[in-house]
Chain A
Amino acid sequence: MEKFQTITSTYVPLPIENVDTDQIIPARFLKATTREGFGDNLFADWRYDKEGNPKPDFVLNNPVYSGQVLVAGKNFGSGSSREHAAWAIGGYGFKVVVSSFFADIFRNNALNNGILPVVVSEAFLSELFASSNKNPKATVTVNLQEQTIVNNETGNKESFEINAYKKTCLLEGLDDIDFLLSNKNKIEAFEKQREYSY
């Protein structure tokens, strides 16, 4: 995994609540057996019409909005456990997703792919939408080390939570499997001492 660096970037606003993983990547694109190529189908049904032409009213097709940060409405990533959703978001080029609330599985999947989910207050979130509405080139700065996000239009800043272990993983580009494998002895010891084993 790539190391996570501090990002200052314009952002793409998606002020819709309960964006589920079926919207992020519809099931018919899940037939692949590799992790690559999902970015092209990110939000496919909102992004393309039946003939596969870009729908001009969808934000990803609006050339004034771009950036490495996606800012979305409350309860982002609910529904299916498909990690393809995280692959699609990462594949498209997003490194950070900002929302006021994330579904659990999506949050884990994002972190396992070096994508940082940033939880902000509802007020901070609506301010971000307002800022990009006024100025599509508005930027945010996300600093993982300090655990802060700044709306550079207004200068407002918020801190966000992340557990220390995951923070280290992201900053150093490590993944959980390395960690688990280094713990084999403990796993074997656990199996031996279990009171009831299936």
Chain B
Amino acid sequence: MKTLFDKIWDAHVVTTVEDGPTQLYIDRHLCHEVTSPQAFAGLRSRGLKVFRPERTTLTADHNIPTMGQDKPIRDQVSRFQVDTLAKNAADFGLIYYGLNNPKNGIVHVIGPENGYTQPGMTIVCGDSHTSTHGAFGAIAFGIGTSEVEMVLASQCILQTRPKTMRINFEGKLKENVSAKDMALYMISQLTTGGATGYFVEYAGKAVRNLTMEQRMTLCNLSIEMGARGGLVAPDETTFNYIKGREFAPKGEQWEKALAYWQTLKTDEGAVFDKEVTFDVSRIKPMITYGTNPGMGMPIDGTIPQLDEIDEAGKISFEKSLKYMGFEPGEKLEGKPIDYVFLGSCTNGRIEDFRLFTEYVKGKKKADNVTAWLVPGSWKVRKQIEVEGLDKILEEAGFELRQPGCSACLAMNDDKIPAGKYAVSTSNRNFEGRQGPGARTILAGPLVAAAAAVNGKITEP
């Protein structure tokens, strides 16, 4: 009896090093400009080619502007990094979706939307949120640059087999609660290191009821509790999403793939190293108050008191609240905010824009709020326009930007100024993540919309 994870892992073992890691075959490799240049330089210095070029796809996303992408990138160092990616693609014969390419976008958004991401695959990328692709029933995880070089050179990677954990979500979600809230709730319960060493399978009725995009949001955040990755067994929802996408199997291949994909589930009676169950009907819209994603609470909750924190964690807790400008025991509902960021590989897909737009429709953006609405890809942006959401947003006082990682990691100009509060749909509220001194409050798209319209933290 095997878990879904075991089935996929076992199907990719090339060999196992005695007393050491497993050599795992990688089906799909995604690459971006920030974590790859040193890997390509490594290949050059060893005189190597890319072993299986058709399995690697490149996109520029982390370090690009979200306005004026048709013009050369102003920041010289950033431009050089993006140019280096283009040159590496050309030199090594790899597919590359550069700026203004209709398939350009955030690496974890374009993988699924173009049909690259499929059940049963092993997928890696030099970015920790590669866990997103697990939503399709794939083993997908982030790697470092040395490992990027390994995959380019050999289509393999050396990995120690992680332990397995199953997280069951039972019950029915409240109206104004999304997958992001489920994830923030889960991380607040398990802490940022709570799943370190594990690969998580998300199961239960509430997960089955999620759309593919919501499953992506949930799997995306697996890394924020330390998990190597998270996956969901593929089902009709998955197959319907994939069918017809550009790189999805077609015709006879599709039938063959489908037959295989339908075997991809955890056998009844298979044992996990750890199992946790949550009742989603108790989850409220969530926000974070601190500087790691585990420091989350219901939107109407209060920040813990100092004496609720264990001894070793006190220094970090106080440091974190000081950085955020919050007090222990404080309530954040009603607190004025300065910025709203809708975007990232966590919440930058069309459903996120629909949710946000639906809320702000007929209302007006608050004057004290600067809002950055950044679609996850050009395809998402196109779809926004097709559905006329851009018009509704414009009427409400919002402006749509061009795709990229943007303020999720603030490598480009989209930096939240020091001391300012940003309600962000991204994934990390680390000190300085959205710019030096920036104060991030993580939330789902609905809470972000409510904050943008009301100028303060309010329950949507």
Contact = CB atoms under 8 A, between A and B. Distances in A.
A79 B18 CA distance: 30
A163 B78 CA distance: 38
Interface residues of B, number: 78
A45 B193 CA distance: 23
A18 interface: yes
Given A18-B193, A101-B196, A104-B226, A33 B144 contact: no
Nearest to A168: B20
A143 interface: no
Given A101-B196, A180-B150, A180-B154, A81 B433 contact: no
B328 to A, nearest CB: 17
Contact of A33 (B84, B154, B160, B409): B84
B248 to A, nearest CB: 10
Q: Which of B14, B130, B315, B319 has the most CB of A within 10 A?
A: B14
B78 A16 contact: no
A30 B154 CA distance: 26
Contacts of B375: none
Interface stretch (B32-40, B91-99, B299-307): B32-40
A20 B319 CA distance: 14
A90 to B, nearest CB: 12
B324 to A, nearest CB: 14
Interface stretch (B177-185, B271-279, B356-364, B424-432): B424-432
Interface string A174-194: 011101110110110011001
Contacts of A73: 312, 315-316
A130 B358 CA distance: 55
B334 interface: no
B11 A196 contact: yes
A35 interface: yes
Interface string B268-306: 000000000000000000000000101000000000000
Q: Interface residues of A toward B: which range?
A: 35 or more
A32 B34 CA distance: 8
B351 interface: no
Contact of B144 (A101, A108, A184): A108
Interface centre among A28, A84, A104 (most CB of B within 10 A): A104
A191 B155 CA distance: 10
A103 interface: yes
A113 B27 CA distance: 25
A20 B228 contact: no
Contacts of A146: none
B142 interface: yes
A35 to B, nearest CB: 5
B411 A22 contact: no
Nearest to B14: A190
B260 interface: yes
A31 B81 contact: yes
A34 B41 contact: yes
Contacts of B37: 32-34
Given A33-B38, A81-B126, A186-B14, A104 B228 contact: yes
A164 B158 CA distance: 13
Contacts of A177: 42, 46, 146, 149-150, 153-154
Interface string B58-72: 000011000000000
15 contacts: A22-B409, A31-B81, A73-B316, A75-B196, A81-B144, A83-B126, A83-B144, A103-B226, A109-B144, A165-B18, A176-B146, A177-B149, A179-B17, A187-B25, A194-B11
Nearest first, the 6 A-B pairs at minimum CB distance are A165-B20, A164-B19, A83-B144, A33-B37, A81-B142, A112-B146
Given A34-B38, A34-B41, A198-B118, 4 more contacts: A33-B37, A80-B428, A112-B144, A163-B19
Interface of B: 11, 14-15, 17-21, 23, 25, 27-28, 34-35, 37-38, 41-42, 46, 48, 51, 62-63, 75, 77-78, 80-81, 84, 118, 120-121, 126-128, 130, 142-147, 149-150, 153-156, 158, 160, 162, 192-193, 196-197, 223, 226, 228, 256-257, 260, 292, 294, 312-313, 315-316, 319, 409-411, 418, 428, 430-433, 436
